Amino acid sequence: MSSPKKSILWFRQDLRLIDNPALLKAIESEEVIPLYILDDDNAGKWKMGGASRVWLHHALDDLNKQLDGKLNLYQGKADDIIPHLVSEYDVGAIHWNRCYEPWRINRDTGLKSALTSTEGLLVKTYNASLLWEPWEIAKKDGTPYRVFTPYYRKGCLNAHPPAEPKPKPNNINATKLPCSLTLEALSLLPTKPAWHQTIMSLDDWDISEQGAHDRLNDFLDNGINSYRQGRDFPAMKSVSGLSPYLHFGQISPHTVWQAASKLEADKNRDHFLSELGWREFSYYLLYHFPTLPHDNFQAKFNDFPWQDDDGWLRAWQQGKTGVPMVDAGMRQLWQTGYMHNRVRMIVGSFLIKNLLINWRHGQDWFWDCLFDADLASNAASWQWVAGSGADAAPYFRIFNPVTQGQKFDPNGDYIRQYVPELKDMPNKYIHCPWEADFSTLREANVMLGKTYPSPIVDLKESRQRALEAYQVVKSDSAA
DNA sequence: TGAAATGTTGGGGCG
DNA sequence: ACGCCCCAACATTTC
């Protein structure tokens, strides 16, 4: 079959040229119209948050440069814009890589059926962001897995191996349309407060496709060798830091998986691979249970006695709870658009269990603040912490932020970086300044309640309160 | 991918 | 040498 003369390549969560199946197909046409549409209208509540928009701005800038300035940008409903472009510019084919958010599935399904009925238009979709399609993996009885380990071990690892990444095309004959918006017109960077400037200055992200590959290679050369232990220490650089790149598709999970797989088999490598498995599991859950971001996965949580308190929520968001490990994490999030995974679990447990605030509030805040905000991972992870999710943490697992700090940040390096008002506290008290005697506090220039808050809750009491609240879901009746 | 309470063991001090 | 107490250190159970 001869290829149509003009093809649209619709970029979505695949902002890359390497290992991009839709791109490889589109360039079989003489002319490719590369396209990105900022579709807040269809996204509704889940339109991109502030930090994600900053990342997106730079990712699009990089992609546009790679395409010699030929990336076409639009804003609005993709299902309006695309049919318009198809007829306006005599397009013969459209290619895109699949997404899995429920709102995108709905939009794309409708759009695809509308376009398919267009005379002479070829519409093709591809897999570019998951190692295993959610519909490929099922239990023997045909129903979806609800537990990670069998999903991953029996379901994924026994299915076909992940695909080898495809090469970057040599030559892309891209066309810039006159009606394309400029990147600036998308207004992805906030103007005030000048938050995106602090956010960028405080970390050293290279938000580009090359940056993604550099980070992968650096991780494979260094961090992965101590991944299994090191990944728990927030002051160490033992995590890959690939999550935002994977979210925006600046690197494919296939590239990451295959590169890691080629290392010598050991526990560090396999643990890292299994984290890619968790990413798959989150998408799998979201695909099979599309209400995951809104409803408790386990219905017995519907009667949970949340005690949402605005003041406590605000203190948590601002990193002013008076609990150093929690505050350090929340400030890292606000200042850098990122939070170390170990700390995400600690601040999540604190919000949900010590403060008894609904997991949805945590989800919303992370959605707005994280560079790697991802509907699937965010929803699955918050429900995991709450205990309401699939294969979730048991209700009685309540992190003690002091113990966690002493275990995983024994020298207080992480605290000192993000909670500088405690930087002169001795290690012994840096995770629990309220236990220090007066002279220790004075020597460290800390005045509790003035220079640093007193804890908003007593850890022991609030733990007890959580255990009582969780009595409601203790019985495993009514799933 | 916890933490706290409770139980057990074993060594040292001491009458 | 023996019994007793104390209390780490570890193990088990419970939430």
- 3-state SS track over A30-68: CEEEEEEEECHHHHHHHCCCHHHHHHHHHHHHHHHHHCC
> Domains in chain A: how many in total?
3
Confidence (pLDDT) at A477: 44
In this predicted structure, the answer to whether residue A451 has a pLDDT above a threshold of 90 is: yes
Tell me the average pLDDT across A74-88. 96
Q: Is residue A418 part of a domain?
A: yes
Residue in A236, A277, A258, A273 with CA at minimum distance from that of residue A377: A277
Q: Is residue A174 part of a domain?
A: no
Total-model pTM: 0.95
CA–C1' span, A123 to B2, in Å? Answer: 51
> Which of A110, A128, A146 is the C-terminal boundary of a domain?
A128
* Residue that has been written with the tokens 């238009």 in this structure: A121
Catalytic residue set of A: 275, 278, 306, 341, 359, 382
Confidence (pLDDT) at A478: 40
Residues A265 and A309 in one domain: no
Burial state string for A339-351 with b = 16 or more CB within 10 A and e = fewer than 16: bbebbbbbbbbbb
Q: Is residue A188 part of a domain?
A: no
Q: Is residue A99 part of a domain?
A: yes
> Which of A266, A288, A310 is the C-terminal boundary of a domain?
A288
Residues A362 and A448 in one domain: yes
Q: What is the separation of C-alpha A196 from the centre of its chain, rounded to a whole number of angstroms?
A: 18
In this predicted structure, the answer to whether residue A211 has a pLDDT above a threshold of 70 is: yes
Q: Is residue A372 part of a domain?
A: yes
Residues A249 and A100 in one domain: no
Residues A115 and A139 in one domain: no
Nucleotide nearest to A467 in CA–C1' terms: C15
Residues A323 and A466 in one domain: yes
In this predicted structure, the answer to whether residue A86 has a pLDDT above a threshold of 90 is: yes
- The CATH number of the domain holding residue A217 is 1.25.40.80
Nucleotide nearest to A148 in CA–C1' terms: B1
Beta-bridge partner residues of A95: A9, A124
3-state secondary structure of A89: coil
Confidence (pLDDT) at A201: 66
Residues A331 and A457 in one domain: yes
Confidence (pLDDT) at A62: 98
Beta-bridge partner residues of A191: none
Which of residues 286-315 of A have CB within 7 Å of strand C?
none
Nucleotide nearest to A341 in CA–C1' terms: B1
In this predicted structure, the answer to whether residue A216 has a pLDDT above a threshold of 80 is: yes
Confidence (pLDDT) at A369: 96
Residue in A49, A48, A178, A64 with CA at minimum distance from that of residue A104: A48
* E runs forming strands in A92-161: 93-97, 122-126
Separation CA A184–CA A370 (nearest Å)? 22
Residues A137 and A122 in one domain: no
- The CATH number of the domain holding residue A333 is 1.10.579.10
Which of residues 431-470 of A have CB within 7 Å of strand C?
467
Report whether A99 contacts A21 (CB < 8 A): no
Kind and range of the H or E run holding A86? helix A78-88
On average, the pLDDT of chain A sits at: 95
In this predicted structure, the answer to whether residue A195 has a pLDDT above a threshold of 90 is: no
In this predicted structure, the answer to whether residue A203 has a pLDDT above a threshold of 70 is: no
Residues A13 and A146 in one domain: no
CA–C1' span, A287 to C2, in Å? Answer: 71
Residues A399 and A272 in one domain: no
Q: Is residue A335 part of a domain?
A: yes
pLDDT in tens, A379-402: 999 999 999 999 999 999 999 999
List the nucleotides on chain B closer than 7 A to a protein CB.
1-4
The reply to whether A396 Cβ lies less than 7 angstroms from strand C is yes
Residue A452 has phi, psi (to 5 degrees) of -150, 140
* pLDDT above 90: percentage of residues in chain A: 92
pLDDT in tens, A258-311: 999 999 999 999 999 999 999 999 999 999 999 999 999 999 999 999 999 999
In this predicted structure, the answer to whether residue A441 has a pLDDT above a threshold of 90 is: yes
- The CATH number of the domain holding residue A69 is 3.40.50.620
Confidence (pLDDT) at A119: 81
Q: Is residue A201 part of a domain?
A: no
> Which of A260, A288, A316 is the C-terminal boundary of a domain?
A288
CA–C1' span, A321 to C3, in Å? Answer: 53
Confidence (pLDDT) at A435: 93
Tell me the average pLDDT across A123-132. 98
Q: Is residue A84 part of a domain?
A: yes
What is the domain extent for residue A425?
Answer: 299-473
CA–C1' span, A308 to C6, in Å? Answer: 47
Confidence (pLDDT) at A190: 87
Report whether A408 contacts A232 (CB < 8 A): yes
Report whether A101 contacts A189 (CB < 8 A): no
CA–C1' span, A97 to B5, in Å? Answer: 54
Binned at pLDDT 50, 70 and 90, residue A29 comes out as very high
Confidence (pLDDT) at A479: 39
Residues A414 and A428 in one domain: yes
Residues 6+ apart with CB under 8 A from A56: A38, A48, A188, A248
List the nucleotides on chain C closer than 7 A to a protein CB.
15
Q: Which comes out higher in pLDDT, residue A478 or A80? A: A80
Residues A347 and A447 in one domain: yes
Residues A242 and A386 in one domain: no
Binned at pLDDT 50, 70 and 90, residue A1 comes out as low
Amino acid letter, residue A142: G
Nucleotide nearest to A464 in CA–C1' terms: C15
